[in-house]
């Protein structure tokens, strides 16, 4: 089936955030002018600020700033959605919370019924069962398929297969696809098996030709800088790596902008010791 202006790809996103998935679809529209899609429904809700009106929650505000045409289609808390009332869709994105599996979190896991943030993935089962989209795509941190959580991930795959889907899973790293960032994520792409033995192939990596400096702005308001105490601690913790990179690369570590240096000097000396980097490439 070809998704065009007359027959757009009907999409729903869960735990939408600002909806990077739709940003990707917007880029697809630029590359293929005949292609089109419609965000039929989306779900974003912050359980930590339940008393804040939905439309004022930060992630919802960000989403509506990017996609104001679909502001009224937010279904809120995905655990309370009546899936029978959701319009038909072709593609379901579900980037459910990673806090309970991420290496930066407590790693309480996502066992069904455990009540962890990440365990709401099991609510997606009802969405797949009722909506029966042709495609579904999970994206999450690579820790979801670590040795600790791989059995649970495989159990989830098994549940999806029972609903009539064929799964394709792979870890992709952003640095292999044009983004100057070392960012691994697990993708699980599921295609409804209508008896035609569906196949899917993940994109092949390609050479990275950009660096972080190529995408950063030259002038940035100081309010966007990280706390210099935290930055300085990061430098101290990663000194050996930074020195090694400096020796082996053609990059020069530039001095701090004068405004940033003044900003750092406002902090009491006892809070941190400024770390200097002076590495010879000889």
Catalytic residues: 98
Q: What is the CA radius of gyration of the chain?
A: 22
Q: Are the beta carbons of 134 and 191 closer than 8 angstroms?
A: yes
Question: How many other CB atoms sit within 10 Å of the CB of residue 195?
Answer: 6
Q: Which residue has the tokens 């101290």?
A: 236
- Strand-by-strand arrangement of the 37-43 sheet: 37-43, 9-14, 91-94, 135-141, 184-192, 165-173
3-state secondary structure the chain: CCCECCCCEEEEEECCCCCHHHHHHHHHHHHCCCECEEEEEEECCCCCCCCCCHHHCHHHHHHHHHCHHHHHHECCCHHHCCHHHCCCCCEEEECCCCCCCCCCCCCCCCCCCCCCHHHHHHHHHHHHHHHCCCEEEEEEEHHHHCCCCHHHHHHHHHHHHHCCEEEEEEEEEHHHHCCCCCCEEEEEEEEECCCCCCCCCCCCCCCCCCCHHHHCCCCCCHHHCCCHHHHHHHHHHCHHHHHHHHHHCCCCCCCCCHHHHHHHHCCCHHHCCCCCCCCCCC
């Amino acid at each position: 089936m070809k998704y065009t202006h007359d027959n757009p790809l009907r999409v729903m996103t869960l735990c939408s955030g600002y909806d990077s998935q739709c940003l990707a679809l917007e880029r697809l529209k630029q590359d293929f002018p005949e292609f089109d899609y419609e965000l039929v429904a989306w779900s974003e809700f912050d359980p930590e600020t339940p008393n804040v009106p939905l439309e004022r929650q930060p992630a919802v505000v960000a989403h509506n700033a990017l996609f104001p045409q679909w502001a009224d289609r937010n279904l809120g808390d995905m655990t309370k959605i009546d899936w029978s009332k959701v319009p038909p869709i072709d593609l379901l994105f579900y980037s459910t919370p990673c806090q309970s599996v991420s290496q930066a979190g407590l790693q309480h896991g996502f066992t069904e019924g455990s009540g962890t943030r990440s365990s709401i993935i099991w609510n997606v089962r009802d969405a797949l069962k009722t909506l029966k989209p042709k495609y579904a795509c999970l994206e999450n941190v690579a820790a979801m398929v670590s040795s600790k959580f791989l059995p649970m991930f495989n159990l989830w795959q098994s549940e999806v297969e029972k609903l009539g889907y064929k799964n394709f899973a792979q870890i992709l790293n952003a640095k292999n696809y044009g983004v100057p960032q070392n960012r691994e994520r697990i993708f699980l792409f599921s295609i409804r098996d209508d008896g035609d033995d569906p196949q899917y192939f993940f994109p092949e990596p390609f050479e990275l030709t950009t660096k972080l400096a190529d995408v950063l702005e030259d002038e940035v308001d100081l309010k966007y800088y990280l706390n210099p105490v935290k930055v300085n601690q990061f430098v101290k913790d990663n000194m050996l790596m930074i020195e090694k990179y400096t020796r082996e690369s053609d990059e020069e570590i530039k001095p701090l902008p004068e405004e940033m240096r003044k900003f750092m000097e406002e902090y009491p000396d006892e809070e941190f010791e400024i770390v200097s980097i002076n590495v010879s490439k000889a």
